[in-house]
A and B are shown apart, each in its own frame.
Chain A
C-alpha cells in the first residue's frame, strides 16, 4: 500500500515538475508547480511528517505560490523565448550537466546504503514533537529566523517604493 502510494506521488511530482520547466506561459508553470507541491506534501505524510506536510500546503501553496501568481498577473510579461538564442549549445549542455548532477547525487545516496526504515517513534512528526525539538535545541536559530523575515519585509517595502530608483 505504502509503496503504491509512493510511486503514484513520485510520478506525479516528477511529471508536474517536468511540465513546470517546459511550459512557455508562466501561469501554466505555476499551476504545474502547485501539483509538485501537493504531491510532495503527500510524500511528507508517508514519511510521518504531518506537521511539515501542513506547513508545505499552507506556506508554499497558500502564500508563496499566490505571490508568484500575483506577480505573473501584474507583469503580463512577454517572454522572448523561442526567438534567437544568445548562447548556442546552452540547451544540450544544460541537459548533460543536470544528468551528471543526477548521476553524482544518486551515486552518493545509493552508497549510503540505507536499509528499511525503523518503526517510527511514538508521536513522530506531530506539532508537539516538532515544537519540543525546535524550542529545546534551536531557540537561537528560531529568533534569527524572525529577524530574517523582518529583513525580508523591509526589503520588499524598500524595493517596491516607486522613487527608489531616482
Chain B
C-alpha cells in the first residue's frame, strides 16, 4: 500500500517544483492543480487501507475547492493580461520595494 503513498509524494514534489521553477502563470496554476491531485491520491489510498469511505468523500470536497479556485484564479490571470499584456510572473512586480 505504501507505494501509492510514495507515488502521491512524488507527484506533490513535482507540482511544488513546477510552482518554484516556472514563470508562466498558467503553468504555475496547473502545477497547483497537480498538487491537489496528489493529495487526492493519498486520501483515496488511506480510504482503501482503512476500509473507510470518509477519505473518498473528502476528495469530493477537494474537487469543489479546486473548481472554485480555478474559476477565480483564471479570471484574475485574464485581468492581469488585460492590464499588463503578459502572464509572466516576473513581469508583475508592482509591489516590489
Q: State the A residues within 8 Å of B (CB).
A: 6, 10, 13-14, 17-18, 20-21, 26, 29-30, 33, 36-37, 40, 43-44, 47-49, 51-52, 55-56, 59-60, 63-64, 67-68, 71-72, 74-75, 77-81, 86, 90-91, 93-95, 97-99, 101-102, 105-106, 109-110, 112-118, 120-121, 124-125, 129-130, 132-134, 137-138, 141, 145, 148-149, 151-153, 155-156, 159-160, 164-165
Contacts and interface: CB of A to CB of B under 8 A. Distances in A.
The prevalent SS among residues of B at the interface is helix
24 contacts: A17-B11, A29-B27, A43-B7, A52-B59, A56-B40, A60-B63, A64-B66, A68-B70, A77-B86, A80-B90, A81-B23, A90-B20, A99-B13, A101-B13, A106-B6, A114-B49, A115-B1, A117-B48, A121-B51, A145-B64, A152-B69, A155-B75, A159-B72, A165-B79
Given A33-B34, A52-B59, A79-B87, 20 more contacts: A13-B11, A20-B18, A20-B31, A21-B27, A21-B31, A44-B41, A52-B44, A55-B63, A64-B70, A68-B29, A95-B17, A102-B9, A109-B9, A117-B49, A124-B53, A132-B53, A133-B53, A145-B61, A149-B68, A155-B71
A80 to B, nearest CB: 4
Contacts of A113: 2
The prevalent SS among residues of A at the interface is helix
Nearest to A27: B26
B2 A36 contact: no
Contacts of B41: 40, 43-44
Contacts of B16: 97-98, 101
A125 B56 contact: yes
B34 A20 contact: yes
Interface of B: 1-7, 9-18, 20-24, 26-27, 29-31, 33-34, 37, 40-41, 44-45, 47-49, 51, 53-54, 56-57, 59-61, 63-72, 74-79, 81-83, 86-88, 90-91
Contacts of B5: 109, 112, 114
A149 B83 contact: no
Given A14-B7, A98-B20, A109-B2, A77 B26 contact: yes
